[in-house]
Structure 1
Amino acid sequence: MQDNHILVEGPEDTSGILIIRFNRPEKKNAITQAMYRRMVKTLNFANEDDSVRVVVFLGTEGCFSAGNDMADFLNYGMAQTSEPPAGFEFIKALADVKKPMVSGVDGLAIGIGTTLNLHCDMTIASSRTQFKTPFVDLALVPEAASSLLAPRVMGHQRAFALLAAGEGFSAKQALEAGLIWKMTEPENVEAESLEIARKLASKPPRALRIARDLLRGSPVEKLQRMDEEFAHFSAQLKSAEARAAFEAFMRR
């Protein structure tokens, strides 16, 4: 992996903001196993370093992330390994981040590019953002504890539409569903996301952490659901129907 596929910026001496930026625009910021490993390492650093007050996820212009790199992911599935993919380690790390997380989403937000935001505390999305999780279309199942978190946030009907039916959500629909906090114009996404992060970073850190923990609850339930999802996900990934779905996708 080129080091610049995931850019890590900060924390600055005074801001306390750590930015994780998807930076593979030529592939619509599709995430490889190597990119996941880089982000896991960064999130672990954020947990351990007191200078980090807030973690911010950003993409590139017109694209947050198209989700998993399909060729990379298909290679993992065909390998028939019992080792969990690096993406699974990433979503577990997401559930256990100790600092507030903010995301700024512009354009495509597919798969983990959508479900990642369920773990963020505040999300800004541009008016042209499209959220979509085509898990079932690929003969797979929801991940990142989205099957637990999405119904709580948006109710069963909307969660089913997003995670099972594979319906796309516009930024306006995502705002109405509670998936994001605010919608703005594309050129303002990054500035507004960083402004939120600066405000959070300026607050008393212990009080903010307690408040966040009270709101979010223990990560144990989320981690248990991730394990349950992964058992189904892994079995489906090795299934004949998933192989057929992936091959059809790659022929497009």
Structure 2
Amino acid sequence: MSEHIEVSRDGAVQTVRMNRPDKKNAITRAMYAAMAKALTEGDADEAVRVHLILGVPGAFSSGNDLADFMAVATGGEHGTEVYDFLMALATAQKPVVSGVDGIAVGIGTTINFHCDLTLATPRTRFHTPFVDLGLVPEAGSSLIGPALLGRQRAFALLGLGEPLAAADAKAAGLIHDVVAEEELEAAVLALAQRVAAKPPQALKIARDFMLGDREALVARIRAEGEQFRARLSSDEARNAFVAFMNRKKG
């Protein structure tokens, strides 16, 4: 498993925290595997009623670890860790709440598409530069995004790669509310505890009705994943990764 994923319990709330601050919570394959395990085991544990996903101050996640991308782009194996996590997240049987502060790039944004409630701070920016890296949207975002945000705002986020500020994300319906940085963790835990205090069976039925049939979402995640893996080996993606890494070095 991963030392960079911390799983803890506060009453009926299970917290899954990405804790790799030196890399701004760039997510490795081991981290995906650990989060998938936490969600799956939490769903199976009757004592858990809510999943809470957190990052660290200033960084929810800077996205997928680029070293993993580069490994695949240069002929390495794909692995199933990302897919396993996305399936666990998209099919979670219990409510998922998130608290986002600062950087939320790529999967750091699309995780929240699957959350029932999200709180973010004023300095948070949701950014999905998939196309800029020669890739395609993932995590079912090409399906959820237009339904949630409207076609044009979704295209600006997922196609054009325009960042979405926290206040705009709230206005668009991507997140529930914006709170001060110093209040985020206490506020989102309190929110998760409010959810956990609801009658669990009634809440499950209500949530299932709101989510509807998830087969189309699962199918879209699978289709996006096939294209994403193919794009990772493309010249466009390889050149974009090299250019990005060179900019970071410079």
Shorter-normalised TM range: over 0.9
Could you tell me which runs of 5 or more consecutive residues in structure 2 were left unpaired when the two chains were aligned: none
| Aligned residue among 6, 17, 21 for 1:21 | 17
For 1:76 and 1:217, the matched residues in 2 are separated by: 35
Indicate if the aligned counterparts of 1:32 and 1:73 stay in contact, CA closer than 8 A: no
Once the two structures are superposed, residues 5-46 of structure 1 have per-residue CA deviations (whole angstroms, 9 ceiling, x without a partner) of: 111011x4xx20000001000100000000001011111101
Indicate if the aligned counterparts of 1:109 and 1:129 stay in contact, CA closer than 8 A: yes
Residue in 2 that maps onto 1:79? 75
| Aligned residue among 118, 128, 140 for 1:145 | 140
Residue in 2 that maps onto 1:114? 109
Could you tell me which runs of 5 or more consecutive residues in structure 1 were left unpaired when the two chains were aligned: none
Residue in 2 that maps onto 1:68? 64
Matched, 1:198 2:193: yes
Matched, 1:44 2:28: no
For 1:148 and 1:77, the matched residues in 2 are separated by: 26
Shift of 1:73: 2.2
Q: Give secondary structure in 1 for the equivalent of 2:150.
A: helix
For 1:140 and 1:154, the matched residues in 2 are separated by: 21
Question: What TM-score does the superposition give when structure 1 sets the normalisation length?
Answer: 0.95
Shift of 1:78: 2.1
Residue in 2 that maps onto 1:248? 243
What amino acid does structure 2 have at the position aligned with 1:70?
Answer: L
For 2:118 and 2:162, the matched residues in 1 are separated by: 20
Q: Give secondary structure in 1 for the equivalent of 2:15.
A: strand
Matched, 1:93 2:92: no
Once the two structures are superposed, residues 172-222 of structure 1 have per-residue CA deviations (whole angstroms, 9 ceiling, x without a partner) of: 111111110101111111111101111111111000000000001122111
Indicate if the aligned counterparts of 1:17 and 1:52 stay in contact, CA closer than 8 A: yes
Once the two structures are superposed, residues 79-135 of structure 1 have per-residue CA deviations (whole angstroms, 9 ceiling, x without a partner) of: 353x54411221111111100000000000000000000000000000110110010
Q: Give secondary structure in 2 for the equivalent of 1:141.
A: coil
**Count of residues paired in the alignment:** 247
Residue in 1 that maps onto 2:173? 178
What amino acid does structure 1 have at the position aligned with 2:20?
Answer: R
For 1:79 and 1:190, the matched residues in 2 are separated by: 40
Shift of 1:162: 0.4
Large movers: runs of 4+ above 3 Å: none
Alignment of 1:3-18 (within 5 A): 3=3, 5-10=4-9, 12=10, 15-18=11-14
For 2:189 and 2:101, the matched residues in 1 are separated by: 14
For 2:93 and 2:114, the matched residues in 1 are separated by: 12
Residue in 1 that maps onto 2:213? 218
Alignment of 1:129-140 (within 5 A): 129-140=124-135
For 1:173 and 1:229, the matched residues in 2 are separated by: 26
For 1:73 and 1:236, the matched residues in 2 are separated by: 10
What amino acid does structure 2 have at the position aligned with 1:41?
Answer: K
For 1:230 and 1:84, the matched residues in 2 are separated by: 12
Shift of 1:141: 0.1
For 1:158 and 1:39, the matched residues in 2 are separated by: 29
For 1:93 and 1:236, the matched residues in 2 are separated by: 23
Percent of counterpart pairs with the same letter? 50
For 2:166 and 2:227, the matched residues in 1 are separated by: 30
